[in-house]
Structure 1
Amino acid sequence: MGNTCGKVEKEVPKNQGDNFALNKRDLVRVKTTNIRNDYSIGDKIGNEKFAALHKCKSKQTGQRLLVKIFSVTAIEPKALESFIQEAELLREADHPNIIKVIDIYKDETNAYIVTEYCKGGELLERITELGSLSENKVASYMKQIISAVVYLHSKRIIHRDLRLENVMFLNKDKDSCLKLVEFGSCKHFEKNVRVLERVGSPYFMSPEVILGNFDSKCDVWSLGVMIYVLLSGSTPFVGSTETEIMQSVLTSELLFEGKKWKKISNEAKNLIRSLLNRNSKERPNAKHVLNDPWIKQRAENKVADNEIISSTLSNLNQFDNQSKLQRATLAFIVSQIMSSDDVGALQNVFKEIDSNGDGLLSKKEIRKALESNTGYSDNDIEILISKVDLDQNGLVNYSEFLAATVDWNKEMSRDRLVQAFKALDADHSGKISKEELMAAFGGSHTSSKIFKEMINEADIDGDGEIDLEEFCTYMENFKERVKS
């Protein structure tokens, strides 16, 4: 085996016939194999509702991650259902401010979720260390959190337990992005259907949750409490017991008293008043909150500059998805092999282009970002989106954007390709079969003919499977096309 992947020895076939759509959910499977075959589980670092939190390390990539361990035998069926709910949700979530799930396992005694490890700690811990915050900093934090909530609501998911303890920094950097990390209380909802159940923390609980009859507007109330706490260091409704706190939520007047509120703008106070309106019908939805002038104006100094956007979009326009296997592999590497630290400034670029904060890039948003460049027609933009839109929904999501804009000449190293190959080679035979591709990329809803085509694209020796050298040679061809 050589140290570098060789040149392609046969022509890569173009897409023909069946369409291939790849969703992020397809890249994460619930595995029944022993998690310790793939991960070294380290010290316990804390507890979450129903789960013990441990550091862990991928044996394939060396990446340091977090694993949530749920005891199947020790918890009630309802709690186990909560785990399954969280696991299923995280499989679907694809947003820069939502924790990324890497793997899900289940055996006779335990269930496991392997996720990114947020080394930056909780938002509240950072605030305590800093000692004070400006309105602009609060708005920049809240813009990220609200964007995640807008995304969840667009997927018909209510979080139901939004609180500052569930928001963490990805790393220790000053400008680290925030991640929403716990989803055990999330629930899918249908429009105009209200949920009869009380969940969440009393301090952040909306009146309708206390009364046991709520919808997605309960998350908006929680956002209002979060802004209040971040600006003042105290909660808007207090009590010495949970019952007293909930009674205060239901009846106490919302006040902005003391020196701490004198320097806070009226725009901030007005926004909080609208979010903490006890009449949920008069409360704005999350998307309206994201577009509130206070959020947009105060968070303005956190956006990426135009120069970065221009170069990133140049990369995006060069992206070529003619090969089903190549584009599926790139999405797999972004989702499962690369960490959020690896993608760096691209997170901020995505959020800058995503002007409405819904976690998806529309044709309108991409067109606006391209205004500074010349020569892009409406047809050019249509073609560009079709190149990177892996799930074929007419929008570019976060993983699709990363797969298109990452500097693959730099990031697609031999080591990374080996990691991806080993992850796809589920039976460790040294070759990737059609069945393994189907399992990795959503074969349950896609024609097996497409996966046979994928094999044929890279199968140089014609044995019906892809070995490591064939895989590397094939992916190296993608790098050569990007260079040119």
Structure 2
Amino acid sequence: MGCSQLKSDNKQLKDNNSKQNGPISTQVSMGLTIIQKTESVDADYILHKLDPLATLRSYIRKGISKSNSQSRIIRTYNCTNASLEKKQQLQETINLLISLKHLYVQNTLAYYYYDGRLSIIGEYIDGGNLLTQLDKFSQLQQYQQIDIFCQIMAGVQYLHDNGVMHGDIRLEHIVFTNKNLESIKLIDFGISNSLKQEFSSWKPNNTMQELSLKSPEAIKGQSTFKSDIYSCGCLLYFIITSHMPFYATNYQSLKNCILRGVPNFDSNECANLNPQMKQLLIKMLNANPQRRPTAQEVLNNPIFMNKIRVMYKPNKQLQKHMKEFKISSQLQAAMLMYIAENMMSDQDKKKLMDEFQKFDLNKDGQLTKDELLKVYSETLPPDRALKEVNTIFKRIDVNGSGKIDYQEFIIATIDQKKYFNREKLLMLFTQIDRDHSGELSRQEIKKLLRDIQIPINKYEQLVKQLDQDGDGAITQEEFLKMMLQI
């Protein structure tokens, strides 16, 4: 994806962006909105180079939080000479990125903009990418490989549904969330390759491996949403046959093969290919983008939908949390998500992810009423199951989308007694109190509110609520009292 890869004619997306509650505050100059300055990323993170096996892109580094030792991925761009129009594009892109929350898409957590340098903070995923784990991935059972493919398609569908084209799907940009290769996240969407070259020292390598996943129109510089479908078709072909749909001995020959648009189905590996799978691949690899299916149509293909869905009994304690979940304010929801991202143990995170996947029967990374109802009906009478599911959706689906996304699920199922209590809030206070003064300055509390994505127009109101005696600083007791009330 990239600033130039947002739907330029998507009025609804623009309307949605204008309503977003992201942390970006703006100033108006010549009718344009540009990113507001913050402190330097170095104030909060110790930066390290990444292993070249993970990425050769020098603008991507690993950051270790000085306050809580959490690992993050940090992408930094030099925007000193960016035009106002480019800065507006970046601001709109960051707003959109921060709003994207999906099980199979890397989460963007915050941004820094200081001295012309823009740093985008993302969750750190340490399971290795598909390229580095290719040998291990090839040893998985094919149904496991297909399950990973469905996760990739679910992530692509979510991006497309939100008006975002990935634009650079390749093995390096599919990262496993653990060493067992059970789950993936799509990464490195957000800034187009042209802008990456403009705002960093990175240049594309133009390797045959990268070229092998590009669509004919992408090679011509005319990428569309259907270009992502083509790249995914190449991945599916690779998973099924262990090689790419086009073969050549050099870069130019490979480019010519792709532009001719006739994938190879004559190999020995394709001889016993399931006819239904072959038809899907032919459609996904069609040289005409208009004739390719959508991401949702791929996921809904009978060859994937007919897989047996195992019904697991949901965890009773988490069922109880969902049923009793009640959110009293936007600030409470934001704080719960912030605590989940920064304080929850890896064991508890995995537990919630496993539970989410029990309900996610079609593996699209979101939960529908029908999916919950099928699972609940395994243990409850039909009438009671329907009543419980309706109650859960009424409480949890706060954005009214008709689906429960992973963030909504986390907020609803997190053990509030364990993670939203005096002890954890004191730990949080210590993390925010960067100068260790024992009090929070207005600048420190504003940073917290920005990090938990509270709209800028609510900053002052919430700061005043926290600073109850009006002395310009927030004590531990003021902080605790306010937070325990929300």
- TM class by shorter chain equals 0.7 to 0.9
| Aligned twin of 2:257 | 248
Give the partner amino acid of 2:119. Y
Q: CA deviation at 1:369?
A: 3.6
Are residues 225 and 251 of structure 1, via their aligned partners in 2, closer, same or farther at CA, if it must alter by over 3 Å? same
Which residue, out of 146, 150, 167, partners 2:157? 150
| Aligned twin of 1:409 | 417
Which residue, out of 302, 307, 310, partners 1:293? 302
In the alignment, the residues of structure 1 paired with residue 61 and residue 250 of structure 2 have an alpha-carbon distance, to the nearest angstrom, of: 31
TM-score, reference length from structure 2: 0.75
In the alignment, the residues of structure 1 paired with residue 24 and residue 432 of structure 2 have an alpha-carbon distance, to the nearest angstrom, of: 10
For each residue in 1:427-457, what CA deviation from the matched residue of structure 2 results, as whole angstroms up to 9, or x when unmatched? 98724768667645555476679x45x965x
Q: CA deviation at 1:346?
A: 2.0
Which residue, out of 318, 322, 346, partners 2:324? 318
In the alignment, the residues of structure 1 paired with residue 282 and residue 360 of structure 2 have an alpha-carbon distance, to the nearest angstrom, of: 27
In the alignment, the residues of structure 1 paired with residue 38 and residue 338 of structure 2 have an alpha-carbon distance, to the nearest angstrom, of: 20
Q: CA deviation at 1:27?
A: 9.3
| Aligned twin of 2:134 | 127
Which residue, out of 42, 50, 68, partners 1:36? 42
Are residues 435 and 111 of structure 1, via their aligned partners in 2, closer, same or farther at CA, if it must alter by over 3 Å? closer
Contact 2:71 2:124 in 1 (8 A): yes
For each residue in 1:283-338, what CA deviation from the matched residue of structure 2 results, as whole angstroms up to 9, or x when unmatched? 2110011122333345x57x6x5223554333211212134433331123234554
| Aligned twin of 2:29 | none
Which residue, out of 160, 173, 176, partners 2:167? 160
In the alignment, the residues of structure 2 paired with residue 333 and residue 392 of structure 1 have an alpha-carbon distance, to the nearest angstrom, of: 24
Which residue, out of 268, 273, 278, partners 2:277? 268
- Unaligned runs of 5+ residues in structure 2 are 1-18, 26-34, 194-204
State yes or no: 1:399 paired with 2:418: no
Secondary structure in 2 matching 1:361: coil
Secondary structure in 2 matching 1:122: coil
Contact 1:69 1:112 in 2 (8 A): yes
| Aligned twin of 2:13 | none
In the alignment, the residues of structure 2 paired with residue 428 and residue 394 of structure 1 have an alpha-carbon distance, to the nearest angstrom, of: 44
Q: CA deviation at 1:165?
A: 1.7
| Aligned twin of 1:10 | none
In the alignment, the residues of structure 2 paired with residue 184 and residue 27 of structure 1 have an alpha-carbon distance, to the nearest angstrom, of: 16
Equivalent pairs counted in the alignment come to 440
Higher alpha-carbon deviation: 146-155 or 46-55 = 46-55
Question: Aligned residues: percent identity?
Answer: 26
State yes or no: 1:137 paired with 2:144: yes
- Unaligned runs of 5+ residues in structure 1 are 1-21, 188-198, 479-484
Secondary structure in 2 matching 1:168: strand
| Aligned twin of 2:354 | 348
Q: How does 1:61-460 map to 2 (within 5 A)?
A: 61-72=68-79, 87-108=94-115, 110-129=117-136, 131-172=138-179, 174-184=180-190, 201-262=210-271, 264-298=273-307, 300=308, 306-308=312-314, 311-335=317-341, 337-338=343-344, 342-371=348-377, 372-374=379-381, 376=384, 381-391=389-399, 393-412=401-420, 416-421=424-429, 430-431=439-440, 439=450, 444=455, 451=461
| Aligned twin of 1:19 | none
In the alignment, the residues of structure 1 paired with residue 224 and residue 402 of structure 2 have an alpha-carbon distance, to the nearest angstrom, of: 28
Q: CA deviation at 1:248?
A: 0.9
Contact 2:130 2:137 in 1 (8 A): no
In the alignment, the residues of structure 2 paired with residue 416 and residue 30 of structure 1 have an alpha-carbon distance, to the nearest angstrom, of: 31
In the alignment, the residues of structure 2 paired with residue 76 and residue 134 of structure 1 have an alpha-carbon distance, to the nearest angstrom, of: 50
Give the partner amino acid of 1:405. T
Contact 2:464 2:470 in 1 (8 A): no
Are residues 33 and 327 of structure 1, via their aligned partners in 2, closer, same or farther at CA, if it must alter by over 3 Å? same
Q: CA deviation at 1:99?
A: 1.2
Contact 1:56 1:65 in 2 (8 A): yes
Give the partner amino acid of 1:127. L
